[in-house]
């Protein structure tokens, strides 16, 4: 996934959402599906964005929306006024590790680093220790709502050891880019990514239940219009949700999902949740079964897998395998 770096400085400015007077200079690492939309969200709320990505075409795209371009991490850091705030939006694992290590070299005491990706929470705690030793404030931010939430009215779960820094320097940013009541300071470092991990594990269970339900309808003796069913269920029923809205959209494009395979890819959060739940002896049978079904789908092509794959594509732009 591409890289985008986001750094923040507060200016006097009228915010159209909250009515407050502030403005932030922002740089962003990772202009992928989430990052490019997040950059627009920030600029739409009156902030100045300085963008960096390894893919220059994505930097140019961000500039077309009004962002300032930078050619490297060093270049972007040099363009930011102190104290800086840097938002990292790259995949978990090696991309995040290398970015964090580089930022630890480039940034100064009292700067802020926000990790907005799906980093494993124990890794986040390690990053916090590394930055704290240098006097840099670290915050782990779980981001939900898919690319649409990144573009407008997002959902964010933010952990970090210094609540005063969060309240004074970061809350104004989230006031603008999040839905009303759509962000939460969750406590010490690691807690934001831990909460996002469990959030995603719950999501696994919800999507698997929806997939199984539509598979039963597909196998029934009745001729249901799946799109019409999803639309009806999303108007007044107990199971109405954005996921059901995405199911309707998927069925309207492909009534029986014939064009896609039933393989459900996974990104790690349910696995991490199960590992910690087992360590704490907390039974999580639904999450376990939902993850097991994803593993099964890599071997067998089922209709429930087609539904889940379509839902993942709908909210996060995740790739769908084509039917053979």
The token pair at 254 is 């492909």
Residue 231 annotated in active site = no
Q: Give the model's confidence band at 17: pLDDT under 50 very low, under 70 low, under 90 confident, else very high.
A: low
Residue 74 annotated in active site = no
Nearest of 310, 322, 210 to residue 261 by alpha carbon? 322
Same domain (yes/no): 58, 94: yes
Query: Which member of 196, 208, 269, 306 is catalytic?
Result: 196
Q: Which of 159, 189, 219 is the last residue of a domain?
A: 189
Answer whether residue 323 is part of any domain: no
Query: Which member of 69, 152, 203, 212 is catalytic?
Result: 203
211-255, pLDDT tens digit by residue? 999 999 999 999 999 999 999 999 999 999 999 999 999 999 999
The token pair at 171 is 């809350």
Answer whether residue 321 is part of any domain: no
Same domain (yes/no): 148, 276: no
Tell me the CA end-to-end span of the chain in Å, nearest whole number: 27
Burial of 295 (0-12, 13-18, 19+ CB in 10 A): exposed
Same domain (yes/no): 178, 207: no
Residue 234 φ then ψ, to 5°? -90, 5
Same domain (yes/no): 259, 184: no
Angular region, 3: left φ>0, alpha ψ -120 to 50, beta rest: beta
By mean pLDDT, which of 204-208, 284-288, 296-300 is the weakest? 296-300
Q: Where are the beta strands (DSSP E) in 34-177?
A: 48-52, 68-69, 85-88, 112-115, 137-144, 154-160
User: Which CATH number belongs to the domain containing residue 119 in this structure?
Assistant: 3.40.50.720
Q: Which residues contact 206 (CB under 8 A, 6 or more apart)?
A: 241, 243
Q: Count the domains in the chain.
A: 2
Query: Model's pTM, two decimal places?
Result: 0.88
Answer whether residue 68 is part of any domain: yes
57-109, pLDDT tens digit by residue? 999 999 999 999 999 999 999 998 899 989 999 988 999 999 999 999 999 99
């Amino acid at each position: 996934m591409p890289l985008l770096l986001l750094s923040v400085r507060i200016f006097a400015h009228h915010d159209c959402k909250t009515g407050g007077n502030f403005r932030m200079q922002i740089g962003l690492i990772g202009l992928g599906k989430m990052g490019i939309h997040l950059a627009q969200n920030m600029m739409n709320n009156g902030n100045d964005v300085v963008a960096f990505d390894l893919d220059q075409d994505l930097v140019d795209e961000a500039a077309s929306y009004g962002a300032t371009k930078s050619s490297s991490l060093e270049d972007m850091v040099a363009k930011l006024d102190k104290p800086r705030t840097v938002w990292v939006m790259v995949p978990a694992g090696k991309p995040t590790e290398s970015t964090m290590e580089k930022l630890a070299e480039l940034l100064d005491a009292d700067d802020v680093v926000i990790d907005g990706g799906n980093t494993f929470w124990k890794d986040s705690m390690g990053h916090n220790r590394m930055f704290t030793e240098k006097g840099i404030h670290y915050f782990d931010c779980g981001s939900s709502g898919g690319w649409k939430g990144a573009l407008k009215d997002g959902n964010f779960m933010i952990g970090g050891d210094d609540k005063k820094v969060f309240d004074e320097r970061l809350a104004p940013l989230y006031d603008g880019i999040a839905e009303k009541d759509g962000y939460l300071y969750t406590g010490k470092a690691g807690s934001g990514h831990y909460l996002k991990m469990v959030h995603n594990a719950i999501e696994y269970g919800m999507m698997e239940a929806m997939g199984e339900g539509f598979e039963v309808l597909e196998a029934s003796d009745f001729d249901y219009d799946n799109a019409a069913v999803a639309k009806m269920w999303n108007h007044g029923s107990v199971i109405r949700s954005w996921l059901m809205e995405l199911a309707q959209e998927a069925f309207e494009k492909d009534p029986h999902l014939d064009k896609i395979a039933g393989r459900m890819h996974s990104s790690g959060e349910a696995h991490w949740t199960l590992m910690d739940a087992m360590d704490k002896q907390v039974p999580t049978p639904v999450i376990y079964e939902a993850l097991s079904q994803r593993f099964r789908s890599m071997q067998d092509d089922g209709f429930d897998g087609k539904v889940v794959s379509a839902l993942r594509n709908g909210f996060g732009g995740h790739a769908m395998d084509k039917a053979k």
